[in-house]
Structure 1
Amino acid sequence: MRRPKKYESGEATQYISRRAALRKLQLSLNDFRRLCILKGVYPREPKHRRRAQKGSSDIKILYHAKDIRFLLHEPIVWTLRDYKIFAKKSGRDRAIKDFRNLKRRLAMFPEIKLDHIVKERYPTFIDALKDLDDCLTLLFLFSTFPSLHLIPREQSNLCRRLTIEFLHYVIASKSLRKVFISIKGYYFQAEIKGQKVTWIVPHYYPFKPQSRHEVDFKVMSIFVEFYTIMLGFTNFRLYHSLNLAYPPQFPSNMLQDNADTLKDESSFVSDRITALNFELLRTDKVQEDEEEPDIDMELLEQDGDSKRIIKMKQEAQEVTRLRSLFKGLKFFINREVPREPLVIIIRSFGGKVSWDSSVFSGATYDESDETITHQIVDRPSLSTQYISRDYIQPQWIFDCVNQRQLLPTNKYFLGEQLPPHLSPFVDAKRDTYIPPEEKALHDPSLIETHAQSDEESEDDATAEQEEDDTVEQELLDAQLQRAYQQETAEYKKYGGADGVNEDEEDSDEEDFDEEEQESDDDDEEEELDEKAQRLLEEKQKMSVQSGKVHKVNKRQVHKAEVDEHRLQARMVKPRHRNLFRKLIREKQTKEKEEWLLRKKRRTIETDAKEAKKLAKREARKAAAAAAAAAAHLGAK
């Protein structure tokens, strides 16, 4: 048996460089990138780079040789090669001005079919739902793009239609669970077939052109090309699970891309929101309200003793209540409020929504409708208001969904300072800093009631009143002290030089007799029995005495912790030392972040208290000035 030479076996044969892969596949770099994105092949990092590169110390882009052999049998490779042939032949026809042949070739343009790749990468439907997060986030982003050099308008239109179809499924199935507003956009989380799908809808801003160095739109458009096929299949399956007709048929005035719509970006966005407020056609006669939840409650009742079953019952009941959270409520959105996220949320939980028909199309009722229960406004005041409805800020909708109940609207009125908007995507039992408002959500005993706030305000007022009283008392004491000093000085000046009277001598004798009697009593006490003194000492030993506060020396505690840490570091093996340092560094960064958040919270609270005290003092001074002015006018 021949002995293998160096780099003929082992890790050197498991990896292949990108240049060798291009030579083997006979593709250009752009076509190879496109093929790798579509097939899900990505570079690998070998354990021993020098062995994998056959002794070379240069840093190369390496792939698994098995993945490259897998790409050799891909039908798309032949389509990519046909592109080269098409480009050469069409260029030749254009050069010799053979337009008849060029027209024939354009009609036979080779198209890439990605259906088999979707089925290959996602063998089951649940696998596709698990990988839907990045797909939705990217398609929602591209649905807001205008026509660019590498992004045709047809691609953004397709993204817009597919995302609207998906949102219609979320609204019809009432599968939305969590929402959150952030700087990046609006976070949504839906529960579809037992899988949690999270995506971001970006804020609508006018598009700002980016340079090619910052964003590679060509690579992103390749991902979009695959994700559009994937989401199309997913929407088809989801719609048929609800007995909805696919593709959904919208009215003729919706999602029609004409010259006027494509010129004005605001009308382009308005058209998309109008489509979300439209009811879809069903293939059966079952209404949305009659749809049953995914969990069968009768099946759960068979095994009701298990804690897990009880927890599942409670969650199922919460979900059923959440699905009809806004049922029976009618909302009206003002023109300054972003409509798209609110329309998605309100319609997903059974509510009805409309807006000003004179500004945006697709309104279902006017502002003057008396049956409106809530009007969403994002300005400090309104000129005309109706008594029959609540005027709230948009955050009320998001907080109601996250807390799974209709919250009181008094904290969300016009001009009110809003409570903190807490993220529902964080772990409630995490080790890092947790704000007190989030703690109050999980522990109802920590919720600050109106009575507690009133008591705190009364305590602050009494404390301020006591401070004022102490200042006044000190002034009075100082005045009395001065008067007493003046009287004693006058007494010494006028009455202190006189002689001593006989009555004063008699009183001195009486005082002397009393002192002698007291000295006799002291002698009697000293002659007490030793037995009684012993009993008294024993009683004192048996008596309960108040404990003394033990003061902790922080320096000694810190020094002990540092010494313990040094001992731990010495016991770590040399091969694990870098890992130990990394863990310690992560722990220190977490502690620093928590300390910074606590410090930030303390400064905010102290500033708020100072502002509150200052406002009370100013109000008290104004009241006192008004009272003095009224008394002065009454005296006149």
Structure 2
Amino acid sequence: MGREKKKYQSGAATNFITRASAVKKLQLSLVDFRRLCILKGVYPVQPNNPAQANKGKRAIRTFYRSKDILFLAHDPIINKFRAHKIFARKVKSARHKKDWTRLERLSENKPGYTLDYIVKERYPTFVDALRDIDDPLTMCATFGAMKKNAKVESRLIPICSRLTMEFMQFVIASRALKKVFLSIKGIYYQVEVQGQTITWIVPYLFTSTRPRDIDLRIMSTFVEFYSTLLGFINYRLYSTLNLHYPPKISLIEKSRTTDESDTSTSFCMDKEEEQERVAAMTLDLAKVSKEPIGDEDEEENVQDEELMADGTLDTEAVQEAKEERDKEKKFKNLFEGCKFYLAREVPRETLTFVLRCFGAQVSWDKTVFIGATYDVNDESITHQIVDRPQQKKEYLSRYYIQPQWVFDSINARLLLPVEEYFPGVVLPPHLSPFVQEKEGDYMPPEKKTLLNRQHGINAAKPEEGKENEEDAEEDEEEGGNISEDEEESHLTEVEERHLSQLQRKQDMERRSKQQEIKDTSKLSVEAGEVKPVDVVYEAEKEARMERSLQEMMMTKKRKRLYQKLMKKRKTKQKQVRKLTSRREQYDSEQKTQKKKLKTSAK
């Protein structure tokens, strides 16, 4: 006879453990346990059978895997948490007894810990860290834009802003920016680093209130780990480009701006001046050594020539790869040779980062922020970005544009016409570059015109069509001012149409009478008429019959799947029709408004 198996001694009851039991086993407080789980990347799980995992109890519990708790039990950071708890108790006792010498000695010997080994443990390779950098960048950008708060350590805010700025400087140096989108949540950036696509959000620099349902202490624990991870990644990325870390300004750029810094307003102390100039993102960074790293384009061209000589690659494939590479190179130098001047009212940091990623020179008023490289009086400025309809003084040698032109040009991968973005002009819709329309999806007319511009096909036709329509409408509106000869010709045309309609009615009545006489007469054989065949209708009918036969031959499982797909397609088509009708209604409303404005102006 085998031993009888006891209940709840195996399976889910032993594989999972409740949070209260885990805290008791590790001998930690709930705050320290939550902090430890965040740092080590251990999260709650939901078992398939919660009642069995909770040993027959139906109460709602938070479960963890038992092997994860055993893994946490041997971590050395637990001893650091306990040492900090003892230190806090000693500080409280010394403060209560007013023993200031002991309190000073304790503050000098405050226990600390590092998270370097946890980063190496969670991300064994650099590619793994790059894949998971989206959340660290978003969190550090959010905390960097925060105000000082009692629930957040004051040292975390400057660290987060510095790390975010260092990563943005790397993106500028490597020209890795691909897409930008201004949304309600914030500014979306997408870059490509070492084959990995990274997308993060940067909040707007508005004064906002903190939501009460967010626990900043938990978020600061995440930021504590993310800042360590981002520091490792920045150091590795800077070393790949042969740049100093922490970043420094090159001596050439520093000597070029010495005269300007003497005359400019002093924003900070001498020690912090270089850091602020790096944060301005208008100057190139210094390199570790002057020895140039091999040019990637030259190496790739040599490899292509060798492969073509060997005959291992198809010439068409090599030609397509070269064209793609040339397009990418042209896109990276989109604003090369352009000099931009930013007005006070535009977002300085965002526009500087975006423009510098594509080779442009950027400056602003010296009294706004440190790092300005030229004044507004410079005649070589090509574009001035403003967000006001009127300017005090305008220069004929430059374009005055709204900030949206920069972002739309980057997403379109070409320089769009500046006429649509002049100050005071109603801007075109800001389309998201992250939305890729598939076959059958709704595509707005602005996206169609943008695709035509990218391919260079009928770039000016939509605008010409709109102008022709407006001219025709104007002609219709001005129809009241017609001469007498035109009125007479119009009346004669109407009379001719009326007479032709009367003749058609008389012919129809005559034919119907003849048909009645034929029916009443004796039977006779007449020549038949060939009925016209609708080829398209017949082809569609045959396709429907084939589809119904195929559906009859399907199994029940495949038939359900097919019906589900067809239902999804029908709902998609219905949504497309709905959006197109809304757009048509909106366009008609806009036309009526324009007509009213024209009539009121007259």
Q: Tell me the amino acid that sits aligned with residue 610 of structure 1.
A: T
1:366 maps to which residue? 375
Offset from partner CA, 1:211-239 (integer Å, 9 cap, x none): 3xx21110110011001100101110011
| CA distance in 2 between partners of 1:297 and 1:85 (Å) | 64
**C-alpha distance in 1 between matches for 2:99 and 2:562:** 72
SS of the residue corresponding to residue 192 of structure 2 reads strand
Contiguous gaps of at least 5 residues in structure 2: 262-266, 496-517, 519-523, 538-543
| Structure 1 letter corresponding to 2:419 | N
CA distance in 2, matches of 1:448, 1:454: 11
Report the 3-state secondary structure (helix = DSSP H, G, I; strand = E; otherwise coil) of the residue aligned with 1:134: helix
Tell me: CA distance 1:39–1:311, structure 2 relative to 1, closer, same or farther (3 Å): farther
Supply the distance in 1 between the matched residues of 2:588 and 2:127 (Cα, whole angstroms): 51
Secondary structure at 2:162 match in 1: helix
1:601 alignment partner AA: R
Aligned equivalents of 2:223, 2:408: Cα separation in 1: 33
**1:243·1:282 contact (CA, 8 Å) conserved in 2?**
yes
| Residues 292-337 of structure 1, C-alpha deviations (whole Å, 9 max, x = no match) | 4598244356255287766544432222111111111100011111
Tell me which amino acid in the other structure corresponds to 2:285: L
Q: How many residues align?
A: 534
Q: 1:9 to 1:467 in 2, by over 3 A?
A: farther
User: Partner residue of 2:246?
Assistant: 247
2:416 maps to which of 390, 402, 407: 407
Q: What displacement does 1:596 show?
A: 5.1
1:607 aligns to 2:595 (yes or no)? no
Q: Does 1:280 align with 2:255?
A: no
Distance 2:210 2:381 in 1: 42
Partner of residue 194, structure 1: 195
**SS of equivalent residue, structure 2 residue 335:** coil
CA contact under 8 A between 1:146 and 1:207: conserved in structure 2? no
Q: Is 1:376 aligned to 2:364, yes or no?
A: no
Give the whole-Å Cα distance in 2 for the aligned partners of 1:67 and 1:591: 48
Equivalent-residue separation in structure 2 for 1:546 and 1:375 (angstroms)? 64
Question: Are 1:277 and 1:343, in contact at CA under 8 Å, matched by a contact in 2?
Answer: yes
Bigger shift: 22-31 or 361-370? 361-370
Aligned to 1:75: 76
Distance 1:9 1:381 in 2: 77
Shift of 1:372: 0.4
- Where does 1:214-229 land on structure 2 (aligned, <5 Å)? 214-229=213-228
What letter corresponds to residue 420 of structure 1 in structure 2? P
Instruction: Give the superposition deviation at 1:201.
Output: 1.5
Describe the SS at the equivalent of 1:153: coil
Task: Write the mapping of 1:37-52 to structure 2, written as runs, cut at 5 A.
Answer: 37-52=38-53
Partner of 2:500: none
SS state of the match for residue 541, structure 1?
A: coil
SS at match of 1:199: strand
1:354 is the counterpart of 2:353: no
Aligned to 1:296: 300
- Which residue in the other structure is 1:487 paired with? none
Change (3 A) 1:228 1:452: same
- Check whether the contact 2:277–2:371 (CA below 8 A) recurs between aligned residues: no
Q: Which amino acid aligns with 1:612?
A: K
TM-score (norm. length: structure 1): 0.74
Aligned residue for 2:248, secondary structure, equals coil
Question: Does 2:328 match 1:324?
Answer: no
Q: Does 1:385 align with 2:394?
A: yes
What amino acid does structure 2 have at the position aligned with 1:232?
A: G
Distance 1:246 1:547 in 2: 74
Distance 1:91 1:616, change over 3 A: closer
Aligned counterparts of 1:8 and 1:317: Cα–Cα separation in 2: 66
State the Cα deviation string for residues 432-486 of structure 1 (Å, max 9, x = none): 4321222333355575524333333344345556798799679969xx9xxxxxx
Scaled by the length of structure 2, the TM-score of the pair is: 0.78
Whether contact under 8 Å (2:280, 2:370) holds in the other structure is no
1:452 corresponds to which of 465, 478, 490: 465
Q: 1:293 to 1:476 in 2, by over 3 A?
A: same
Q: Give 3-state SS (helix, strand or coil) of 2:85's partner.
A: helix
8 A contact 1:76–1:112 mirrored in 2: yes
Conserved? CA contact 2:166–2:247, under 8 Å: yes
Which secondary structure does the structure 1 equivalent of 2:529 belong to? Answer: helix
Superposed, 1:480-519 pairs within 5 Å as none
Cα 1:146–1:293 change in 2 (3 A) is farther
SS in 1 for 2:155: helix
Find the counterpart in structure 2 of residue 235 from structure 1.
234
CA 1:52–1:345 in structure 2 vs 1: closer, same or farther (change >3 Å)? same
* Matches of 1:272 and 1:331, distance apart in 2: 18
Partner of 1:541: 529
Give matches, 1:47-446, under 5 Å. 47-211=48-212, 214-249=213-248, 275-285=280-290, 292=296, 296-300=300-304, 302=307, 304-305=313-314, 312-429=321-438, 432-443=441-452, 445=457
CA-to-aligned-CA distance 1:588-615 (integer Å, 9 cap, x gap) = 9866765553343223211111123334
> One-letter code of the match for 1:416?
V
Task: Give the aligned residue type for 1:611.
Answer: Q
* Structure 2 residue identity aligned to 1:249: K
Q: 2: distance between equivalents of 1:291 and 1:341?
A: 30
Q: CA deviation at 1:99?
A: 3.1
Structure 1 unpaired stretches of 5+:
255-259, 481-525, 527-532, 551-559, 623-636
Question: What is the rounded CA distance, in whole Å, between the counterparts of 1:194 and 1:349 in structure 2?
Answer: 19
Q: What's the % identity of the aligned pairs?
A: 43
Change (3 A) 1:49 1:546: closer
Q: Which amino acid aligns with 1:296?
A: E
Alignment deviations for residues 16-55 of structure 1 (CA, whole Å, 9 cap, x no partner): 0000100111110000110111111101011111111111
Relative distance call for 1:69 and 1:373 in structure 2 (3 A) is same
CA–CA distance in structure 1, aligned partners of residues 388 and 68 of structure 2: 58
CA distance in 2, matches of 1:147, 1:95: 28
Change (3 A) 1:451 1:94: closer
Distance (Å, rounded) in 1 between the aligned partners of 2:439 and 2:78: 49
Partner deviation per Cα, 1:534-573 (whole Å, 9 max, x = no partner): 7xx54x635x7697999xxxxxxxxx9xxx9xx99xx978
Gap change, CA 1:73 and 1:581, over 3 Å in 2: farther
Match of 1:484 in 2: none
**CA–CA distance in structure 1, aligned partners of residues 295 and 175 of structure 2:** 10
| 2:17 alignment counterpart | 16
Between the aligned partners of 1:273 and 1:380, the Cα distance in structure 2 is 32
Quote the offset at 1:405 in angstroms. Answer: 1.3
Q: Which amino acid aligns with 2:226?
A: Y
Distance 1:593 1:151, change over 3 A: farther
Q: Secondary structure at the match of 2:426?
A: coil
**Aligned partner letter, 2:202:** V
Alpha-carbon RMSD: 4.0
Question: C-alpha distance in 2, partners of 1:59/1:587?
Answer: 41
How far apart are residue 392 of structure 1 and its match? 0.9
Distance 1:476 1:122, change over 3 A: same
1:42 partner amino acid: Y
Q: 1:246 to 1:209 in 2, by over 3 A?
A: same
Residue 412 (structure 1) shift: 1.2
Q: Is the 8 A contact 2:177 2:190 kept in 1?
A: yes
Contact 2:123 2:129 in 1 (8 A): yes
- 8 Å CA contact 1:245, 1:281 repeated in 2: yes
Larger radius of gyration: 1
> Which whole-Å CA distance do the structure 2 matches of 1:158 and 1:90 have between them?
27
Q: State the Cα deviation string for residues 162-219 of structure 1 (Å, max 9, x = none).
A: 11111111111111111111112211111111111111121111242543xx211101
Shift of the alpha carbon at 1:279? 2.5
